[in-house]
Structure 1
Amino acid sequence: MLLERIYDEDLAQASYFIGCQATGEALVVDARRDVAEYLELARRHGMRIVAATETHIHADYLSGTRELAATTGAQIYVSGEGGQHWQYGFEANRLRHGDTITIGNITVEARHTPGHTPEHLVLLVTDGAFSSAPGYALTGDFVFAGDLGRPDLLDEAAGGADTRFEGARQLFASLRDEFLSLDDHIQVFPAHGSGSACGKALGALPSTTVGYERLNAWWATYLRDGDEQGFVDELLDGQPDAHAYFGRMKRENRDGPQLLGSLPPIVQMANDDLARRLEADEVIFVDTRDQHAVHAGTVVRSLNVPGLAKAASYGAWVYDPETETRPLVLLAPDQGFAQAMRDHLVRVGVDHVAGYTTDLDGLPTTVPAVVPPAELEGVDVAMLLDVRNRTEHTAGHIPGSEQLSGGRVLWHLDQLPDDGTIATYCQSGVRNSVTASALRRAGYDVVELEGSYAGWSTWKHSQPIATSA
């Protein structure tokens, strides 16, 4: 049996390629939407992708299950659990508790594990050429290395009302009845790692085991003691802010993401034509440099999505394809970078990239307003806005600031002042630059705090302590 983990550092998301080397058949689990890497894996191993499935309706990225099926002819398998409100809206084989998928000598069994979402499945993998019992569990957003999937996303991103409490109780039951019933040696492969917003304390390890989590996970004591309420309270406490685009991901993944097909190469645009289109407000410019370069000068009303590392995440913060139809033009050193950037953006449904340019020559530019920490108190601001997560704000913030995380700002403009200057900060300046660019494009007067909270803290601690005479 072949089992390979394909990890996207941008979204801290893992998908899995499972292949039977005896028959050359393969299954992909929790695929992302740009599917070239799975096709290359199949080619390299001389295999055919005959099936694609997923553990649940994802909230943080668009699934590539349908894309893979359209490209390879693979059979689609999705959860049929969770009740009528959590059924997929496209044609697929429905998996219920105990149903199996067979790939050559490999059997994949679906186990219903509600809590993170009502329809969630764990997939138990048995290598029939080696054993008659499962040796691997693909746990999706149920059990991570050192943590659990959050049960509050339906409230935070999908319009639910207090579903978190029932979800937390379901997680407790799923752990007790399903996960802890598994043998200790079973290797656990989760769908996310450290940095994902799908939990609050995800470990960076790519895998764990049932036995290790049984002995060491924070939740294990609550399960041993049968303390459901203590478990619920700790699970729900301190969850990070859910990005607003998660709601769109839920809807599109439930209904079926639009198929991409074969995308054409991204072409370089002439800057004189680009300047004309920017003047006519026909396209949106995306500056892909870091905040320091942007602060030295950028295109007027441009969005800042700095580099490839978090392009999908930040792209979905600042561009909503449900309300915006104008295509993007990327600042990129070459075509390869531009196409890699597009690959990241389509993972969150930002599909319309019209082209790229390699420089700002001849384009309308501006220098964003930035204020040093020592001068912040002298700026007349209508709001001092902390765009970090609420847990970061609670741990320490600039006095008088209000918190609204960067991934939620554009969807909560009603919480911002109608006029006046907004001063913004994050921890180091990266998220701040991304969010500030979106607010400026939306028409707000924004000044960024140089160095953000880290810079302010350093400056504050360097000030002499006032003493009484």
Structure 2
Amino acid sequence: MRPARGEQHPHPLEPGSPSAPGRRDAGPHRGHPLRNRAARVHLACRIRGRRSHFCGLDGHLRHGRPAREDALEPPRHPGPGRQEGSEGVILKQFWNEQVQQYSYLLGCPGAGEAIVIDADRNVEQYIAAAAAERLRIVHVTETHIHADYLSGSRELAQRTGSNLWLSAEGGPDWQYTFTTPEHKPLRDGDTIQIGGVTVQVWHTPGHTPEHISFLIHENGVLQGAMTGDFIFVGDVGRPDLLENAANMKGTAEPGARRLFQSVQRFAALPDHILIWPAHGAGSACGKSLGGVPVTTLGYEKATGWAWRISDENKFVEEVLAGQPEPPFYFKMMKHLNKVGPDPRPAVDALPRSSSLAEFEAARQRGAVVLDVRPSAMYLREHIRGSLHIPIYAMFAQYVGWLVDFQEEVILIASDEASAKQAATYMAYIGWDRATMWFGEDILRTYERAGHELVTTADLQACDVPKDAVWIDVRGRNERLGQNIPDAVGITLGEMVVRKDEIPQGKRLAISCQGGTRSPIGVSVAERLGHDVLNVRDGYLGFLTCQGRQKVSV
């Protein structure tokens, strides 16, 4: 079902691949075939009532950074009916590292119009990108009711006066429940016009019942598809989230069967079309998402496991097996996006405080003290009972795992920029209850008031005391075939709900793969009342000191 181990399949957008579109250097992201490239495919944009304009649809596919802002050059040899020197249609792809999510702006300068697909809450980025290209956002849409981040579609439509197109597929239980004057329903076969580019709606259920994809046509020719959480690079969207994250029992298997039918329908489309997904590597919306930001249908059909299974029962078994643990906040995201998200609060409004009285009053109210400083600083000294999540690529997801939606949060940060960055990242998942932030001076004030700060032992795996109990906080798929003998395996985000499985009265050695996640686990275990130490090199360090090779699965 999957390529044999060691079998090489060059990606169609890698250099030397016969189906690779033209590409050029995109800057500092090296070492990955598309982290330093921009893929390009050309469309003609035929504006009704005007002469034909050439439109070069430049993917601007930059992994890890916002879309380009510069104008696009026309191709050297325009096709029949196309004219040299005319303007280009612009496709900009925006990458949100915190939720591993792609969103898109598609615009035709000849018409002066643009559509935004799957917007996150940073709506200013789309408004700015459109303005830079002298485009007016006239349509906003999304592929489904998202579960992993809070949608910005409603706010963007209100801010720009755009039509808000939302799926009306999936039956009465799967409809958006908010209505606005901008809200318009979308069904299979509907089309949205952006100048001379036609965006066609396909109902692609499976990941969710209401899920739709957008086929991009020019002059009657299908050029690509924005597939949301249906087709990823190297994977397809998981159909079990409604059951395993939202507790909608009995939905996983029927969803898997609908997903199989959607895959079979999509497989009949031409191999050459480009696929622009809504998520990349690190997302919990699938189990094996690739790290490149675009693919082709032909490549996926040739190499992707889902496309190589013709038996529905085998597909169902495979797609439901080995899915990662869904973060707890997914259920709340699904609800908020269904009823209509509120606008994002202004991060500049987050006040700083140096008052110990305010700090203690917030803690008395039940506020979570969230220490977002680098882990080395937290381990060296911190306030007992604080939750530590450093600002890195998974920050928002672990906030969603470990902080309840209703809880007030006060931040301890190294500086103002870090505090505001943390509040911004929390807002991507709708965690808007950060009320103030404190600098490191609160530690000195706390100490002068007679309170003791905590220093956590930070040891290499080889130096962990023999009597310590290892707590392995890696995900269950990471632990398969790569276990630490006698360690208690509890996925980091599940430590609180599985607290009864953590041994009492023992010193705990908190370990992950290489030392990034374990300090978060240290803070969780300490908040639960345990004596802890951090294993700075994790499972990789354990292998080194055991003289063993890493076991592959």
TM-score in terms of structure 1 length: 0.88
Q: 2:254, 2:504 → 1: CA distance?
A: 38
Query: Who is 2:316 aligned against?
Result: 232
Q: 2:137, 2:346 → 1: CA distance?
A: 18
For residues 387-426 of structure 1, the C-alpha deviation after alignment (integer angstroms, 9 at most, x for no partner) is 2111111121222223221223334445546776554321
* 8 A contact 1:9–1:309 mirrored in 2: yes
Q: Secondary structure at the match of 1:27?
A: strand
Deviates more, 1:257-266 or 1:157-166: 257-266
Structure 2 unmatched ranges of 5 or more: 1-88, 448-452, 549-553
Query: Who is 2:395 aligned against?
Result: 311
* Match among 151, 160, 169 for residue 81 of structure 1: 169
Matches within 5 A, 1:278-297: 280=364, 283-297=367-381
* Match among 278, 281, 286 for residue 191 of structure 1: 278
For residues 230-277 of structure 1, the C-alpha deviation after alignment (integer angstroms, 9 at most, x for no partner) is 222222222222112212211221222233354543333225455544
* 8 A contact 2:354–2:439 mirrored in 1: no
> What amino acid maps onto 2:285 in structure 1?
C
Structure 1 unmatched ranges of 5 or more: 463-469
Q: 1:248, 1:419 → 2: CA distance?
A: 35
For residues 60-87 of structure 1, the C-alpha deviation after alignment (integer angstroms, 9 at most, x for no partner) is 1111111212322222111111122211
* Match among 22, 28, 32 for residue 116 of structure 2: 28
For residues 64-122 of structure 1, the C-alpha deviation after alignment (integer angstroms, 9 at most, x for no partner) is 11121232222211111112221111113221111122233332211011111111111
Q: 2:293, 2:397 → 1: CA distance?
A: 21
Query: Who is 1:437 aligned against?
Result: 523
Aligned pair 1:37/2:119, yes or no? Answer: no
* 8 A contact 2:369–2:410 mirrored in 1: yes
* Match among 99, 102, 112 for residue 14 of structure 1: 102
Matches within 5 A, 1:46-125: 46-91=134-179, 92-125=183-216
Aligned pair 1:354/2:435, yes or no? Answer: yes
Q: Quick one: structure 1 residues 77 and 135, their matched pair in 2 at CA, closer, same or farther if it must change by over 3 Å?
A: same
Q: 1:250, 1:172 → 2: CA distance?
A: 23
Q: 2:500, 2:186 → 1: CA distance?
A: 42
Q: Quick one: structure 1 residues 44 and 379, their matched pair in 2 at CA, closer, same or farther if it must change by over 3 Å?
A: same
* 8 A contact 1:245–1:407 mirrored in 2: no
Deviates more, 1:435-444 or 1:350-359: 435-444
Aligned residues: percent identity?
38
Q: Quick one: structure 1 residues 11 and 216, their matched pair in 2 at CA, closer, same or farther if it must change by over 3 Å?
A: same
Aligned pair 1:172/2:253, yes or no? Answer: no
* 8 A contact 1:318–1:434 mirrored in 2: no
More helix by share: 1
CA RMSD of aligned residues (A): 2.4
Q: Quick one: structure 1 residues 137 and 367, their matched pair in 2 at CA, closer, same or farther if it must change by over 3 Å?
A: same
| 1:158 CA drift (Å) | 1.1
Greater relative CO (CA pairs within 8 A, separation 6+): 1
For residues 113-136 of structure 1, the C-alpha deviation after alignment (integer angstroms, 9 at most, x for no partner) is 111111111111224xxx223312
Q: 2:345, 2:197 → 1: CA distance?
A: 30
> What amino acid maps onto 2:289 in structure 1?
L
Q: 1:332, 1:291 → 2: CA distance?
A: 11
* 8 A contact 1:196–1:202 mirrored in 2: yes
* 8 A contact 2:518–2:536 mirrored in 1: no
Q: Secondary structure at the match of 1:395?
A: coil
Q: Secondary structure at the match of 1:366?
A: coil
* 8 A contact 1:308–1:344 mirrored in 2: no
> What amino acid maps onto 1:30 in structure 2?
D
Q: Quick one: structure 1 residues 251 and 422, their matched pair in 2 at CA, closer, same or farther if it must change by over 3 Å?
A: farther
Q: Quick one: structure 1 residues 318 and 211, their matched pair in 2 at CA, closer, same or farther if it must change by over 3 Å?
A: same
- Paired residues, number: 450
| 1:18 CA drift (Å) | 1.2
